[in-house]
Amino acid sequence: MAELVALPTGGTAGKTLTVATAADAFLGSLCNPNTVRNYGIGIGKTVERLGEAKPLASVTDEEIGEALELLWGSAAVNTWNARRASVSSWLAWCRERGYDAPIVPAWTKRLAVPDSETPVRSRMEIDRLIARREVGLREKTLYRMLYETAGRAEEILGVNVENLDFVGRRCRVKAKGARAKTRRRGQAREDVVLETVYWDAGTARLLPRLLKGRARGPVFLTHRRPGPGKVVSARDVCPHTGFARLSYGQARALLDAHTALGGPGTGWDLHEMRHSALTHLGEGGASLLMLMAKSRHKKTENVRRYFHPSPEAIAELTSLLGPGDRFR
C-alpha cells in the first residue's frame, strides 16, 4: 500500500500542490491494496505525462483529456474505462478537500462495454473434454466444477477442503471485488463477505476421488512441493502432502494443452466454462433473475454479455412464431 502523504493545509494550498504530491496522498488514503495497485497504474502514468512537479491547480481539463487520449486512446474499452475512472476519482477526491483540481472533460467519455467475445462451448464439447483419458482427475474435477458452479476460475481455485459442503453441494468463495466486512464503528476487518456457489452430480462424484480423505488445505494442488526459494502462504499449502495450491496460470496452461489445435496459446480459456454454463442455463429457460443469482452479478447488463445463445437455440425459439399444426 502506498504511504499516506498528508496534503498541505491552508487557503492557498491548491496553488502550490504538485501533481505528484496529490497523487501520492490519494493513493495513500485507499485501504484496499488491490485498488491501490489498479488505480496506481492509471494515475501514475498520468502524473508522468503531466509532469510530477507541475502544480495541480495549473493543470487544465484539456490537458487531462489529452493525457488520457494519448496514453489509452487506442486501448481496449475496459482498459480505457478503468484508467479514466481512476484519474476521475483522484481529481474528485482533491476537489472534495478544497483543492484546485481539473476534471476529466466530457469529450473523454466512458465507453459502452461491448458484448463479450469469449467463445461458448457446447455441452457435448465440455463432456468430451472431461471424459478424455489424458485429462487427469484434478483437471476433470476443476473443469466440471467451473462449469456446474459457473464460478470464476480464481474463486474456485481459491477454495479449501474445509469450505466444502458435500451434503448441500455448495461452498463459500471469496468473490471478485469482495467487500471487506466492517465493525459497528466502521473499523476495517481483514475478512471479506463471502458468496455461495453450487455444483451438481458431476462435481459431487469427482470431488471425493480427488481429495482422497484430505480434510484441510487447497482443493486443487500442484504435484510437487514449493521450491526452497519460493515463499508460499500457509493457507496455500496442503498440510497432508506439502503440495502448493494450483495457480491460475498453471490451470490455464493445462487447459490450453488439452484443447489447443493450432499450437500453444490457441486452446480454451478457463473463463469459457462460466460463459458456457450461463448461456446453457439461459437456453434452458432460466430467467434473468435466476441467471443473476447463479452468476452473482449485480447488474443486468453484465449478465446479458455472458448470454450467447447458439444458432440452434435461436432457430428453435423462432419456430414458436410459425403457424400452428392446423395451418400445416
Structure confidence by residue, pLDDT tens digits, 2-15: 444 455 544 444 44
Give the domain extent around 243. Answer: 123-313
Tell me, yes or no, whether 179 lies in a domain.
yes
Among 96, 115, 147, identify where a domain stops.
Answer: 96
Q: Are 50 and 59 in contact (CB under 8 A)?
A: yes
Residue with cell string 465507453: 111
User: Looking at 96, 113, 140, which one is the last position of a domain?
Assistant: 96
Task: Evaluate whether residue 109 is within a structural domain.
Answer: no
pLDDT in tens, 10-63: 444 444 789 999 999 999 999 888 888 889 999 999 999 999 999 999 999 999
Is the domain of 71 the same as that of 134?
A: no
- Global pTM? 0.63
Digit-coded pLDDT (tens) for 180-237: 555 555 554 446 678 999 999 999 999 999 999 899 999 999 988 887 777 778 888 9
Catalytic residues: 152, 181, 271, 274, 297, 306
Question: Are residues 86 and 230 part of one domain?
Answer: no
Residues 53 and 144 in one domain: no
Residue at which a domain ends, from 96, 113, 146? 96
Residues 40 and 133 in one domain: no
The answer on 77 and 215 residing in a single domain is no
